[in-house]
Amino acid sequence: MERTSRNIKPYAAGIVTAAALSVSPKISEETGLFEKILYEMNGIGLRETLLAAAVFCLYVKYWSVIKQRQNWVTHCLAGLFSMFTLIGMSYSYLKNWNFIFGDWQQFLIAALTGIGYFIFYNACLCLL
Protein backbone atom coordinates (compact mmCIF):
# COMPACT_ATOMS: atom_id res chain seq x y z
CA MET A 1 0.00 0.00 0.00
CA GLU A 2 2.80 2.43 0.81
CA ARG A 3 4.48 1.85 -2.54
CA THR A 4 1.30 2.88 -4.36
CA SER A 5 0.89 6.12 -2.38
CA ARG A 6 4.56 6.96 -2.82
CA ASN A 7 4.29 6.57 -6.59
CA ILE A 8 1.23 8.83 -6.78
CA LYS A 9 2.89 11.83 -5.12
CA PRO A 10 5.07 12.93 -8.08
CA TYR A 11 2.08 12.70 -10.43
CA ALA A 12 -0.15 14.70 -8.07
CA ALA A 13 2.62 17.29 -7.67
CA GLY A 14 2.93 17.44 -11.45
CA ILE A 15 -0.79 18.03 -11.90
CA VAL A 16 -0.86 20.82 -9.31
CA THR A 17 2.24 22.45 -10.80
CA ALA A 18 0.97 22.22 -14.38
CA ALA A 19 -2.36 23.72 -13.30
CA ALA A 20 -0.60 26.56 -11.47
CA LEU A 21 1.61 27.34 -14.47
CA SER A 22 -1.42 27.53 -16.77
CA VAL A 23 -3.39 30.02 -14.64
CA SER A 24 -3.61 33.60 -15.82
CA PRO A 25 -4.60 36.27 -13.31
CA LYS A 26 -7.81 37.34 -15.01
CA ILE A 27 -10.72 38.28 -12.79
CA SER A 28 -14.00 36.58 -13.61
CA GLU A 29 -17.42 38.04 -12.95
CA GLU A 30 -18.77 34.50 -12.46
CA THR A 31 -20.20 33.67 -9.06
CA GLY A 32 -19.28 29.99 -8.73
CA LEU A 33 -15.84 28.76 -7.72
CA PHE A 34 -15.69 26.16 -10.51
CA GLU A 35 -16.64 28.74 -13.15
CA LYS A 36 -13.94 31.12 -11.90
CA ILE A 37 -11.32 28.38 -12.06
CA LEU A 38 -12.33 27.48 -15.61
CA TYR A 39 -12.22 31.14 -16.64
CA GLU A 40 -8.72 31.65 -15.28
CA MET A 41 -7.21 28.52 -16.81
CA ASN A 42 -5.55 29.31 -20.12
CA GLY A 43 -6.62 26.00 -21.52
CA ILE A 44 -4.55 23.05 -22.51
CA GLY A 45 -2.58 24.09 -25.57
CA LEU A 46 0.70 22.84 -26.94
CA ARG A 47 2.77 24.88 -24.50
CA GLU A 48 0.89 23.65 -21.43
CA THR A 49 0.96 20.04 -22.67
CA LEU A 50 4.72 20.11 -23.22
CA LEU A 51 5.24 21.86 -19.90
CA ALA A 52 3.10 19.31 -18.06
CA ALA A 53 4.99 16.44 -19.72
CA ALA A 54 8.33 17.97 -18.75
CA VAL A 55 7.20 18.55 -15.16
CA PHE A 56 5.87 14.99 -14.89
CA CYS A 57 9.13 13.55 -16.20
CA LEU A 58 11.15 15.76 -13.86
CA TYR A 59 9.11 14.81 -10.80
CA VAL A 60 8.91 11.09 -11.55
CA LYS A 61 12.60 10.74 -12.35
CA TYR A 62 13.98 12.87 -9.51
CA TRP A 63 11.31 12.57 -6.78
CA SER A 64 13.60 10.63 -4.44
CA VAL A 65 16.34 13.25 -4.88
CA ILE A 66 13.87 16.05 -4.22
CA LYS A 67 12.56 14.38 -1.05
CA GLN A 68 16.11 13.73 0.15
CA ARG A 69 17.46 17.25 -0.43
CA GLN A 70 14.54 19.36 0.74
CA ASN A 71 14.86 21.12 4.08
CA TRP A 72 13.64 24.27 5.79
CA VAL A 73 15.85 26.50 3.63
CA THR A 74 14.36 25.24 0.35
CA HIS A 75 10.86 25.50 1.84
CA CYS A 76 11.41 29.12 2.96
CA LEU A 77 12.90 30.16 -0.39
CA ALA A 78 10.20 28.35 -2.38
CA GLY A 79 7.53 30.01 -0.22
CA LEU A 80 9.01 33.46 -0.80
CA PHE A 81 9.42 32.84 -4.54
CA SER A 82 5.84 31.62 -4.91
CA MET A 83 4.47 34.53 -2.88
CA PHE A 84 6.38 37.06 -4.98
CA THR A 85 5.29 35.28 -8.16
CA LEU A 86 1.63 35.70 -7.17
CA ILE A 87 2.17 39.36 -6.32
CA GLY A 88 4.00 39.90 -9.61
CA MET A 89 1.28 38.16 -11.60
CA SER A 90 -1.38 40.27 -9.94
CA TYR A 91 0.39 43.57 -10.54
CA SER A 92 1.59 42.64 -14.03
CA TYR A 93 -1.88 41.86 -15.37
CA LEU A 94 -4.25 43.84 -13.15
CA LYS A 95 -2.12 46.60 -11.58
CA ASN A 96 -3.64 45.79 -8.17
CA TRP A 97 -4.06 43.03 -5.55
CA ASN A 98 -7.36 41.68 -6.90
CA PHE A 99 -5.89 38.40 -8.20
CA ILE A 100 -5.01 37.49 -4.62
CA PHE A 101 -7.55 39.36 -2.49
CA GLY A 102 -10.54 39.81 -4.83
CA ASP A 103 -12.95 37.68 -2.79
CA TRP A 104 -12.79 34.36 -0.94
CA GLN A 105 -13.03 32.35 -4.16
CA GLN A 106 -10.30 34.38 -5.78
CA PHE A 107 -8.15 33.96 -2.66
CA LEU A 108 -8.65 30.17 -2.87
CA ILE A 109 -7.61 30.15 -6.54
CA ALA A 110 -4.54 32.24 -5.71
CA ALA A 111 -3.68 29.93 -2.81
CA LEU A 112 -3.90 26.84 -5.02
CA THR A 113 -1.77 28.57 -7.64
CA GLY A 114 0.74 29.50 -4.93
CA ILE A 115 0.90 25.87 -3.78
CA GLY A 116 1.65 24.79 -7.34
CA TYR A 117 4.42 27.35 -7.64
CA PHE A 118 5.75 26.33 -4.21
CA ILE A 119 6.05 22.69 -5.32
CA PHE A 120 7.75 23.75 -8.55
CA TYR A 121 10.24 26.13 -6.92
CA ASN A 122 11.00 23.65 -4.14
CA ALA A 123 11.78 20.95 -6.71
CA CYS A 124 13.97 23.31 -8.71
CA LEU A 125 15.90 24.41 -5.62
CA CYS A 126 16.44 20.82 -4.54
CA LEU A 127 17.80 19.90 -7.95
CA LEU A 128 20.32 22.78 -8.08
- Write out pLDDT tens, residues 78-90: 999 999 999 998 8
Percent of the chain scoring above 90 in pLDDT: 28
pLDDT score of 6 more than 80:
no
User: Is the overall model pTM greater than 0.85, yes or no?
Assistant: no
Among residues 13, 21, 12, the alpha carbon closest in space to that of 86 is found at: 21
> What does the pLDDT read at residue 57?
86
Alpha carbons 86 and 90: distance in angstroms, whole number: 6
Closest C-alpha to 11, from 50, 49, 47, 61: 61
Contact 69, 126 (CB under 8 A): yes
pLDDT tens-digit readout, 12-61: 888 888 878 777 777 667 667 777 776 676 655 677 778 778 888 888 88
Q: 123: burial class by Cβ within 10 Å (0-12, 13-18, 19+)?
A: buried
Examine the pLDDT at 1 and tell me if it is beyond 50: no
Other CB atoms within 10 A of residue 32 CB:
10
